[in-house]
Structure 1
């Protein structure tokens, strides 16, 4: 049973000053010391990210307007039924 025990070690210096003993990935460092992505740097890469970015639209102007309209409708319907508005005592 060799697996992770036989893998090369990361070797990055830890806070204690000792070398990290975690198994290394292909880049020679472990998952904690391998470094994170710095994101796109070229104009082409930035443009690609902008076009690929998807949002749920929950905070768009259209959704805010829809929620505002819905609150108004609920308040009017509560007035018609004679129920006190939510939040008032």
Structure 2
């Protein structure tokens, strides 16, 4: 089976109502049915989001699995 969707990369994530440029930190860890990765923000040193995409049958699930913030920037809301 093949998972189809947007081929456009996510270039920004909105944290606390403000869009911030985002990049992958390292290579995603992939299996046959999942991809796990860490998002990092150059404009917010120390702030990182771990996320996963999993496929089971016809269901695709996106999940934020960890949020690391700093005393200078606390993550309250996330919009992808």
The verdict on a shared fold, with TM-score over 0.5 as the criterion, is no
Larger radius of gyration: 1
Q: Which has the higher helix share?
A: 1
Q: Which has the higher strand share?
A: 2
